[in-house]
Amino acid sequence: MTSPPLAERELQSLDHDATRAIGAALARVARPGDRLCLWGDLGAGKTQLAKGFAAGLGVSATVNSPTFVLMAESEGRLPLFHVDLYRLADSIDALGSGLIDERQASGVTLVEWPERLGDALPAQRLDVRFRGSGDEPRSIRLRATDTAHTRYLEAVG
């Protein structure tokens, strides 16, 4: 389900450090039950943003793309559920394997490759869309689909 954005903001990131800094700034305003959907091609910076987000939550564990484990859980100020749907075909696989469930209400969930959720995509979320790859600068567009997630736009402003 695609909801019209309530608000959006476009950011530029020149390197991995800047992308991680954006993630850390977003984490400072995270609340239980928040969902952030990270959209972009391979190598666009989704995992770099997740690393910064985890650091901003005070997660001390190493954060990598959970492509082969599908979901990594980390403890910080809030529990972090980092989901990577790249290897799944569709929402049936994601929902059937328990990757999206009620436990996530206690923390914040970052979803890489959210398009795999199709119609099961949560309506209330922050979309983070990456353009660019390799060594080139990134354009990162934040779009809040509900009023609860608009605070993320202010966190990076």
Q: What is the pLDDT of residues 116-133, one digit of tens each?
A: 777 778 889 999 999 988
The answer to whether the CB of 2 falls within 8 A of the CB of 123 is no
**Sign of the alpha-carbon dihedral angle for 95, 143, 128, 27:** negative
Nearest to 126 by CA among 157, 94, 151: 151
Provide φ and ψ at 73, rounded to 5°.
-110, 135
Domains and CATH numbers, the chain: 32-155 (3.40.50.300)
Q: Which tens digits make up the pLDDT trace of 7-63?
A: 899 999 999 999 999 999 999 999 999 999 999 998 899 999 999 999 999 998 878
